[in-house]
Amino acid sequence: MKTNWLLSAALATTALIVASTPATAATKFEYWYGLTGDLGAVVAETCNRFNASQDDYEAVCVGQDGYENAVQSTIAAFRAKQHPTLLQSFDAGTADLMLSGEFYPVTKLMQDTGVTIDWSDYFPGIANYYSSKSGEFFSMPWNSSTPVYYFNKDHFAKAGITEAPITWEGMEEAFKALKASGQACSQAYAPSSWIDLEQFSMAHNVPVASNNNGYDGLDTELLFNTTLHVKHMENQLRWINEGYSMIRTAQSGKTARDSFVEGECSVFFSSIADHNTIHKLKPAHAWDVQIIPTYEGVTRTNTVVGGASLWVLSGKTDEEYKGAAAYLAFLATKPEQQFLLENSGYIPVTKSTYEALKAEGFYAKEPYINRDIAMKSLTWSEPTELTRGIRLGSFIQIRAEWTAEVQAALAGQKTMKEALDTAASRGNDLLARFARTYPGKSFP
């Protein structure tokens, strides 16, 4: 990580990043982003780099203190006609934004402004999440990720584990070996609907919801309380009760990542985006990453993209749209994708950039070694009807219901099956309300 600009960005105001005013007034457009901390500073620096690269446009980048806040603030700003031109929205907000109608599809934006983007260059596992059934991109993929698990190589070696397991049966055996070797905590566990539910279901090719995860209609119901997901969450609870895993969340006083970095627990699951952060935190132990496991007897399929994409919103001037198109094209270049990768844990979104980086030996040197395990996970198979993504309205709230119920089960207040049944029931109420909001409509 190059710390000179990062330090200056961190010391600058976190709310607004503005480049020096050029001699002739540039067209300004606002960009609201959800990333915070070091990653938020990276976003701010991409704006500075764009502003310094030309004199016609000025990206005014405003941090919103989290993805959910970015989406909610934008909704509120629309009512006052004070919304930004560009919005960084996470995967869970995709369906709501699609049906809102308050966006300018990026494919059409580029056509209308005469800016060339090779949309076929984007990985299918990334493109499908943010495009229509016909292949039109509604938003532009940018900071993309997928989950992996991080493991303590020193702990594994002491326990006699020679290979990081890629099945859950193998993971349980690793937990037992770690405990037998004297390790008090095998896994630092923090419940995550993105990892435990969504990506687990993708890798196993099982549905989260009916209608092919919502793609085929708004009359959708959640199914996660009827699939292999139930067994998996019951196993997570059992591993806690049997002393292999410890709950490590901000509410427990220590995050799973902190527990791993400190050497307390041997394994934790997270986004590949954490890869760069863990390097910066400098654990005293050797560590590496591996793809998320699947259960034996299952044919593994691809995981899907996490992170966020960039949406162009309605109601702006032609000149603002030209500026937004120029900025998006700037971010899509190989040098700017590489800048993002070097200063975060994210992955390339285009095949050409990924192949170029491999040819240059990017993933063969520190601190990037094995970071492309995420690409192997995303491209493990061609996307199926169940692994192209998820199209669920009110998905942010559905995630919250899942989390609240799983936490109740982990606290011993109910069985895991009861918790998942309740989360599905409450989520179905949200889906039904969403469908009533958009009568007669379907996802494009």
| Per-residue pLDDT tens over the stretch 286-328 | 999 999 999 999 999 999 999 899 999 999 999 999 999 999 9
Per the structure block, which two tokens stand in for 18?
């503005």
Between CA 221 and CA 224 the distance in angstroms is: 10
Q: What is the dihedral of CA 79, 80, 82, 86, to 10 degrees?
A: 0
What is the model's pLDDT at position 79?
A: 86
What is the model's pLDDT at position 78?
A: 87
What is the model's pLDDT at position 132?
A: 87
- Yes or no: say if 130 and 140 are a contact pair by the CB < 8 Å rule: yes
What is the model's pLDDT at position 75?
A: 87
Helix (H, G, I), strand (E, B) or coil at 60: strand
Between CA 143 and CA 411 the distance in angstroms is: 34
Instruction: Give the closest residue to 349 by CA, choosing from 104, 90, 94, 140.
Output: 140
What is the model's pLDDT at position 444?
A: 83
- The per-residue b/e assignment along 167-189, b for 16 or more CB within 10 angstroms, e otherwise, is ebeebbebbebbbebebebbbbb
| Per-residue pLDDT tens over the stretch 167-185 | 999 999 999 999 999 999 9
What is the model's pLDDT at position 171?
A: 98
Helix (H, G, I), strand (E, B) or coil at 406: helix
Provide the H-helix boundaries in 282-350.
Answer: 318-332, 334-342
- Yes or no: say if 349 and 175 are a contact pair by the CB < 8 Å rule: no
What's the CATH fold of domain 147-303+393-437? Answer: D-Maltodextrin-Binding Protein; domain 2 (3.40.190)
H or E element: which one contains 185?
strand 185-189
What is the model's pLDDT at position 24?
A: 64
Between CA 290 and CA 268 the distance in angstroms is: 11
Helix (H, G, I), strand (E, B) or coil at 63: strand
Cis ω for the linkage preceding 367 (within 30 of 0): yes
Instruction: Give the closest residue to 138 by CA, choosing from 349, 375, 443.
Output: 443
Measured in degrees and rounded to the nearest 5, phi and psi for residue 312 equal -95, 125
- Yes or no: say if 214 and 203 are a contact pair by the CB < 8 Å rule: no
Per-residue pLDDT 10s for the chain (444 aa) are: 343 444 344 334 334 444 444 456 899 999 999 999 889 999 999 999 999 999 999 999 999 999 989 988 998 998 888 999 999 998 888 888 888 889 999 999 999 999 999 999 999 888 888 998 888 999 999 999 999 999 999 999 999 999 999 999 999 999 999 999 999 999 999 999 999 999 999 999 999 999 999 999 999 999 999 999 999 999 999 999 999 999 999 888 899 999 999 999 999 999 999 999 999 999 999 999 999 999 999 999 999 999 899 999 999 999 999 999 999 999 999 999 999 999 998 999 999 999 999 999 999 999 999 999 999 999 999 999 999 999 999 999 999 999 999 999 999 999 999 999 999 999 999 999 999 999 988 888
Q: What distance lies between CA 319 and its chain's CA centroid?
A: 31
What's the CATH fold of domain 3-145+305-364? Answer: D-Maltodextrin-Binding Protein; domain 2 (3.40.190)
- Yes or no: say if 185 and 259 are a contact pair by the CB < 8 Å rule: yes
Per the structure block, which two tokens stand in for 64?
């919103």
In sequence order, which residues have a C-beta less than 8 Å from that of residue 273 and are 6 or more positions away? 39, 143, 145, 307, 344, 345, 346
Return the domain boundaries, the chain.
Answer: 3-145+305-364, 147-303+393-437
Establish whether domains 3-145+305-364 and 147-303+393-437 are of one fold.
yes
